[in-house]
Amino acid sequence: MNRKRELLIRAYLVLGGLILAAIILIASTVKISVIEAGQWRERGDSTKLRFVDIAPDRGNIYSADGHLLATSVPYFDIHMDLNSEPMSDAIFYTHLDSLSWYLSRHVFTDQSSDVIKRRLIRQRNAGNRYFPIKKRATYEELELIRSFPLIRLGKYKGGLVVEQESKRLKPFQNLGHRTIGMHRDEAPSVGLEAYFDEQLRGVAGKRLMQKIGNQVWVPVDDLSEIKPERGSDIITTLDMRMQDICHHALQEGLEKHDADFGLAIIMEVESGAIKAIANLDKLPKGGWWEGYNHAVGDATEPGSTFKLASMLALLEDFGLNVYDTIDINFGYARFGRNEMRDAEPHKSSRVTIKHAFELSSNVGIAKIVNQYYNKDKNAELYIEKLRQFGLDKPTGVEIPGEANPIINEAYGKGWSNVTSLPWMSHGYELKLTALQTLAFYNGVANNGVKMKPYLVDQIATQGSAKKIKPKVLVKQMASKENIRIAQELLKGVVLYGTGKALRTSKYDYAGKSGTTKLNYWKGTNDEYQASFVGYWPLQDPIYSCIVLVNKPKRKGYYGGTVAGRIFRSIADQCMTTDLRLIKASSAEIEKEDVQKLAPTYQAGYAPDLKKVANWIPLEYNDQAESEWSIFIPEKDSIKLQNRILKPGQVPNVLGMGLRDALFILENRGMEVKVNGYGRVMKQSIEPGAKLNGQKIMLFLG
């Protein structure tokens, strides 16, 4: 019994010890996790380490002609760790006075060096490891601060800590602003920046950071543990010369007609490459800004530009003879209880179908479409033809937010057997974006091959480039014969119809005007959308273009009057600045007329002049062997001759552009003043005079 009792006592003692240990552990846990939680959390946080992402350099966006459209500019947050372990008191106080003076002179310019000195001492004594010097500093400012006393000793002895970020800049600012897009952390990105974000943003790196209190993290080392990979560069199809032409021609037209907004797009016919795309909104306080990409995001009733699709459908389904006549009743008709009127009454009642199209007669096109399609459920054929042309699908352009076209099903919801076909035939009861309309017209110009509009030509990564090939959307929209007839219809609009006032003797083009009445179902004041879409030159078209102007309020509202004149301005400027167009337009000019293209007096850098000479349809005699040369016109050719610039003499810069003249004169130590614009017509000091760094006046004309 004594033995048994002894064993029980031992068991109870062990059990009591375990219970006591458990109580102690529980009490310690409560004390640490509840009573002393804040103290231990602060101590734990003070030495906490973690890896953070390092944002890579975002890729650049370039135009087709090599201009930088978007780039990332680095900036730096600079501060000091005043309690870095290698920074002894001896090191700190040895450089304190001179550091305070430099900071006062270059950074904290509103504070004296004594004030800054006291701040530095106070922060060091308080154990501060984060003394801010400058936020969002440029690289030049960073390099200056790196040279300051104490700081120049480096990260450890000098306590320098630098954090790099970047800011996205667009050198051309409002030109193509919405198409190029914006990269935003606080809001959704837009434009090419959004569509190609995965390629542009690169791969983030990793860096070990240490928390030093107050939610302040500093790099443990200057070097990242995993280096970031820079994003790819994007080379677009945009031509900034054409973009500038579109932008300013559009702005001038919008101001003239006091419109709400407008857009203009230029597309390369053969490939579908978009060379320019401008969208301008009127600001409440005046001025214009690319606030929204209407060309891609707005689907509206296109109006009379849609008549071409109706005519092409009639040609495909019924072999329509465009020289048959139709009664347009002087521009008035009724469909059920609904009246239809042309924009203006006509002098004739019966005209050819071709001329009805040229006059943009709503009544004529509506009657002929209604005659053929509004029986035996033929309306389904009409809708099927619109699908055949690819008008029921978005283009797939590389910009987020393209609006879907709206084309109702025949005999479906909202369909009227009386009014739907007549009104659809001239661009109502359906919706398209301007880009979708242009893609259709571009397909007609391209002999029926409908190309996908695209904005990016290459994606370049670390020395290699991925070429984006043009893509066909519809291999053949209609038979080649019917496409040819459609081309003749568009040619007739400019020769005999609503585009007649826009004709020019310098080149031929084809197109169609459109005037859409907005909010007509509301019965409110008349508001219109004017548009014009076409291509040039007429033979072997190179470019197509659409212009749309929303709610013009003065000096007209018709498509030909408003948008057509902007179209002509764009085409005119392209014809005089694009070498492809100059060569194409000059190929058919007679010999005596070609002679007028020869430069009469033009001097400059020889390689540049030789390049121009190769594009002029005249033979030229190249006698230029020096760096500078001059064009000499002859009877039926041009001669390129040396311009000799002798050392020690005032050079002859007559006939040169200002850039070349300045380069030559300033490199010879002369001070140049300029009067006028154009080429140098006169210089105040005769060529050949002794050169002694004198001032010279250039008169341009």
Q: pLDDT by residue (tens digit) across 173-227? A: 888 888 988 776 666 778 888 888 888 888 776 666 666 555 555 665 554 456 7
Q: What is the pLDDT of residues 101-160, one digit of tens each?
A: 999 999 898 999 899 899 999 988 888 878 888 888 888 888 898 899 988 888 778 888
Cβ 461 vs Cβ 232: under 8 Å? yes
The share of the chain scoring above pLDDT 70, in percent, equals 85
According to the model, what pLDDT value does residue 620 have? 59
d(CA 154, CA 127): 20
Q: Is the pLDDT of residue 423 over 90?
A: yes
Higher pLDDT pick, 699 / 314:
314
Would you tell me the crossing angle of helices 362-373 and 379-388 to the nearest 10 degrees? 110
According to the model, what pLDDT value does residue 243 have? 93
- Averaging pLDDT over each range in 86-95, 268-277, 412-421, 596-605, which range is the top one? 268-277
Query: Residue 237 — pLDDT band, cuts 50, 70, 90?
Result: very high
| Tokens (6 digits) for 683 | 């210089």
According to the model, what pLDDT value does residue 220 have? 59
Q: What is the pLDDT of residues 603-621, one digit of tens each?
A: 777 777 676 666 555 565 6
According to the model, what pLDDT value does residue 594 have? 45
Mean pLDDT value across the chain: 85
Query: Residue 523 — pLDDT band, cuts 50, 70, 90?
Result: low
Mean pLDDT of 368-372: 95
Alpha helices in 497-642 (DSSP H): 563-577, 579-586, 591-594, 606-615
d(CA 652, CA 668): 12
Nearest in space to 267 (alpha carbons), one of 282, 291, 284, 246: 246
Nearest in space to 200 (alpha carbons), one of 51, 297, 69: 69
Q: What is the pLDDT of residues 663-682, one digit of tens each?
A: 888 888 888 888 776 778 88
Q: For the chain, what is the radius of gyration of the CA atoms?
A: 37
Please report, for residues 122, 188, 539, 592, the alpha-carbon distance to residue 542 in angstroms, rounded to integers and kept in the order given: 72, 36, 9, 26
According to the model, what pLDDT value does residue 261 have? 96
Residue 433: partners with Cβ closer than 8 Å, 6 or more residues away: 295, 296, 297, 298, 299, 300, 394, 402, 403, 405
* Per-position DSSP letters for 78-147, written without gaps between them: EEE-TT-TT--HHHHHHHHHHHHHHHHHHT-TTS-HHHHHHHHHHHHHTT---EEEEEEE-HHHHHHHHT
Of the given ranges (139-153, 197-211, 340-354, 368-382), which has the lowest mean pLDDT? 197-211
Q: Is the pLDDT of residue 55 over 80?
A: no
- Averaging pLDDT over each range in 196-205, 246-255, 632-641, which range is the top one? 246-255
Mean pLDDT of 517-521: 80
d(CA 99, CA 159): 12
According to the model, what pLDDT value does residue 379 have? 92
According to the model, what pLDDT value does residue 46 have? 47
Which residue's structure tokens are 């214009």? 288
Q: What is the pLDDT of residues 539-562, one digit of tens each?
A: 999 999 999 999 999 999 999 999
According to the model, what pLDDT value does residue 544 have? 97
Of the given ranges (41-55, 459-473, 520-534, 647-661), which has the lowest mean pLDDT? 41-55
Q: Is the pLDDT of residue 307 over 80?
A: yes
Mean pLDDT of 27-36: 72
- Averaging pLDDT over each range in 245-249, 458-462, 602-606, 616-620, which range is the top one? 245-249
Query: Residue 421 — pLDDT band, cuts 50, 70, 90?
Result: very high
Please report, for residues 175, 322, 442, 532, the alpha-carbon distance to residue 448 in angstroms, rounded to integers and kept in the order given: 32, 19, 9, 20
Q: Is the dihedral of CA 403, 404, 410, 412 positive or negative?
A: negative
d(CA 330, CA 344): 9
Of the given ranges (11-20, 201-210, 466-475), which has the lowest mean pLDDT? 201-210
d(CA 421, CA 444): 23
Model's pTM, two decimal places? 0.72
d(CA 363, CA 328): 6
The share of the chain scoring above pLDDT 90, in percent, equals 44
According to the model, what pLDDT value does residue 207 have? 64
**Cα angle for residues 368, 426, 345 (degrees, 5° grid):** 80
Mean pLDDT of 451-473: 91
According to the model, what pLDDT value does residue 589 have? 46
